[in-house]
Amino acid sequence: MPTLTTSSDILIFGCGNMGGAMLAGWLAGGIDPARFTVVDPQLPDAPAGVRLLREVPDQAFDVILLGVKPQLLDAVAPALAAAAGPQVTLLSILAGVELDSLAARFPHAGALVRVMPNLAAAIGKSPLALFGRGLDEAGRAAITALLDPLGTPEWLAAESDFDLVTALAGCGPGFVYRFIEALADGAARLGLDPAQAERLAVATVEGAAQLAAASPHGPAELARRVASPGGSTQKGLDVLDADGALKRLIVATLTAARDRNAEMAAMARG
């Protein structure tokens, strides 16, 4: 079983938007850049102190973060399989790629962990859903500690939860950004300067999210506290709540994203 320490060496295989966000979050959290090796044939440069290579080196690593696009898994697995030995914990951020699919391609890895972060990992504010095999409680605690600088790691009870959690926590920022865009666009259509409307919309959502994170009250209660009976906030909420329109839209949105994750998992199994 792999053993992780505060000095574990980490290989990031594929450092695109998400892998890069995680690396940025780790470095901002104070982890020594010398612990990281990035293998990426396209990345022009890496942060100071991080080694950037084009091929997997012939050396041992403690952790490998698999960060390529899911459809490239079969193409890159042979080059990485030799490095993923019994001492290695393989972290995969590949949406829709299940543990059985990873095990088939990396049969000698000591532990496999699926991780679903989002881009807020770069600023230490990402939820990180986790599910794995090959780890005891100490190993799970070590992975949790490794990911702590990136946000809020949470272990799932079942791998079957991953498709829905990916839709919520992985895809969710895209849905929130679309809401911010709609909020700003609505104000602009009603006469506000578009640039000012966007600044105000971003600031509004940022403040509301920070308050929700810090408050002992749930979102529904916070909304109630903002809205005075018969006031302007309540009138706006009445539109969002009419016939459950907003909730039905969100259920449909999450369903579409969840089902696409399941489709990608089926393709990876095939």
Q: pLDDT value at position 32?
A: 95
First to last CA, the chain: 29
- The whole-number pLDDT of residue 11 equals 96
> Could you tell me what percent of the chain has a pLDDT over 70?
97
User: Which ranges in the chain are annotated with CATH 3.40.50.720?
Assistant: 10-160
CA separation, residue 112 to residues 17, 117, 131, 132, 135 (Å): 22, 16, 8, 5, 8
Q: Is a pLDDT exceeding 60 seen at residue 236?
A: yes
User: 36, 29, 31: which is closest to 13 by C-alpha?
Assistant: 36
* pLDDT for the residue numbered 17: 93
Give span(s): CATH 1.10.3730.10, the chain: 172-264
Which pLDDT band holds residue 266 (cuts at 50, 70, 90)?
Answer: confident
Instruction: Write down the architecture of domain 10-160 according to CATH.
Output: 3-Layer(aba) Sandwich (3.40)
C-alpha distance from residue 34 to each of 16, 38, 93 (Å): 19, 11, 22
Q: Identify the pLDDT of residue 267.
A: 80
| Over residues 106-133, mean pLDDT | 95
Tell me the residue length of the chain. Answer: 270
81-98 confidence digits (pLDDT tens): 999 999 999 999 998 899
Closest to 24 (Cα-Cα) out of 2, 49, 44: 49
Count CB neighbours of 248 within 10 A.
10
Q: Which residues contact 19 (CB under 8 A, 6 or more apart)?
A: 12, 38, 65, 67, 93
pLDDT at position 192, please? 97
Residue 26 has pLDDT above 60, yes or no: yes
Q: Which CATH architecture describes the domain 172-264?
A: Orthogonal Bundle (1.10)
H or E element that contains 91? strand 89-92
Question: What mean pLDDT do residues 36-50 have?
Answer: 94
- pLDDT of 4 over the 90 cut: no
Residue 71 has pLDDT above 90, yes or no: no
Mean pLDDT of the chain: 93
**What global pTM score does this model have?**
0.85
pLDDT tier for residue 6 given thresholds of 50, 70 and 90: low
- How much is the average pLDDT of 17-43? 95
- In DSSP notation, 162-182 reads HHHHIIIIISHHHHHHHHHHH
Q: What is the mean pLDDT of residues 160-181?
A: 93
Please compute the mean of the pLDDT values over residues 162-175 and round it to a whole number.
92
- The reported pLDDT for the residue numbered 263 is 87
